[in-house]
Amino acid sequence: MRVDLFIARRYLISKKKTNVINIISGIAVTGVVIGTTALVIILSVMNGFHEVISSFLSTFDPQLKIELKEGKTFNLKDAPFEKVRKVEGVAHFSQILEDNALASFRGRKCIATIKGVDSEYSNMSGLDTMMSRGYFILKTDNNNFAVVGRGVAVTLGVQVNLSEPLNIYYPKKGRGSTLGIGEDFTSDFIYPIGIFHNDAQIESKYILVPIDFTRKLFDSPDRLTSIEIGLDKKADIDQVKKDIEKIVGDKFVVKDRYQQHDMLYKTIKSEKGFVFLFLAFILAIASLNIIGSLSMIIIDKKEDISILKSMGASSALIRRIFLFEGWLVSVIGAIIGLIIGLIVCWLQIEFGLVPFPEGGFIITSYPVKVDPTDLIFIMLTVLSIGFVTAWYPIRFISGRYLNIEE
């Protein structure tokens, strides 16, 4: 072991002449422990919420989505989409035609996104596992059915007993908008057969219907708004995305799930970044105790410093001793805080120690996901703050009060 590190370790655990030094050192370690623990727990909870949101969005959003870069609808002949079907890794190819329309049920009305899907959609969406009531069935023989988001169903008072239809009104092309529903709107009806739950923004927006229904309602027999792609389990999504982009050209854009909700994920990352900086700032303030603790230790060990200098120790060696002394406080606090934080996260994952209040929540307790990258950043942050707070008294106080040469 290095001499400076060995002496620093001895100074850290040895009894000081003044008891208040031990108290201040204990407070310094405790501050680092609490700050590190808070960083681990809070960032892990934010990761958990991120994962929950992603899991619910992923049941509705495709792994890849092809849209026009400019414009709203396109034709299958606008690009060699047959080649897209044959790209290695592509398992599902679903045609989509959607737009906003007015939905009415028992006299109650709301604007909803009517999403027309083909038969392949049910094989890749996973929405059949998220039905609150009824069934995920959109077509049987010549009969069309609608699956309604829970939020839309609550707004309209939708029932799934197939006794009353859901009426859909869509403005005719080339007609000005009016407040009344008459000649300016195309209308059709469809029976709701199921209600699905998902993220609040999704379930309060969408009504799923067969694509033939929307083509007739929107008067767009050969048009699509997007193509949704499902991949094999072993497929490399980035590689498949690049292959499809080469096929469809610059006229189209291929989006993965993160790009489909680009603003949402950027917001989540920004919030996590701000929380990290805020907690790091609090940790830095707590670490200021190291300055007081180390300053008093330097004064307490003044005689030892004189002995070391008489034995030939250089000023640099003496500075390193006390630098390591202060840094060890941060290292010990960081390790203890990391362990406590991980234990708390494990207990929350296994036993759900902190539950949500009852009523209306999809999950029963606070979600937690420990990200190793976060742990690395936390350790680097704590150690960096510890180095700075230890360097200050060594650089200024030692030279001023102990006559250590620059």
Q: What does the pLDDT read at residue 361?
A: 62
Nearest to 79 by CA among 247, 192, 200, 203: 247
Q: Which of 392, 378, 371 is nearest to 35 (CA)?
A: 378
First to last CA, the chain: 26
pLDDT at site 83: 95
Q: Where are the beta strands (DSSP E) in 126-273?
A: 131-134, 139-140, 143-149, 166-171, 185-196, 206-210, 226-231, 252-256
**CA gap 29, 339 in Å, rounded:** 14
- Residue pair 320/305 in contact by the 8 Å Cβ criterion: no
Ordered by start, the domain boundaries in the chain are: 3-57+264-401, 63-259
Q: Give me the pLDDT at residue 19, please.
A: 67
- All residue ranges of the chain with pLDDT < 70 are 1, 12-21, 57, 174-183, 358-362, 396-406
Amino acid letter, residue 156: L
- What was the pLDDT predicted at 296? 79
Q: Which amino acid is at 299?
A: I
Q: How far apart are CA 35 and CA 33, in angstroms?
A: 6
Which residues lie below 8 Å from residue 91, measured CB to CB, with a gap of 6+?
124, 230, 231, 232, 235
- How far is residue 41 from each of residues 69, 247, 332, measured CA to CA in Å? 41, 45, 18
Quote the longest CA-to-CA distance of the chain. 102
Partnered with residue 63 across adjacent β-strands are none
Q: What is the pLDDT of residue 406?
A: 44
For position 174, what pLDDT does the model report? 65
Whole-number pLDDT of residue 290: 83
What confidence score (pLDDT) does residue 28 get?
Answer: 86
Residues 6+ away with beta carbon under 8 Å from 40: 337, 338, 340, 341, 342, 344, 345, 370, 374, 375, 378
Residues 6 or more apart whose Cβ sits within 8 Å of residue 44: 341, 345, 368, 369, 370, 371, 374
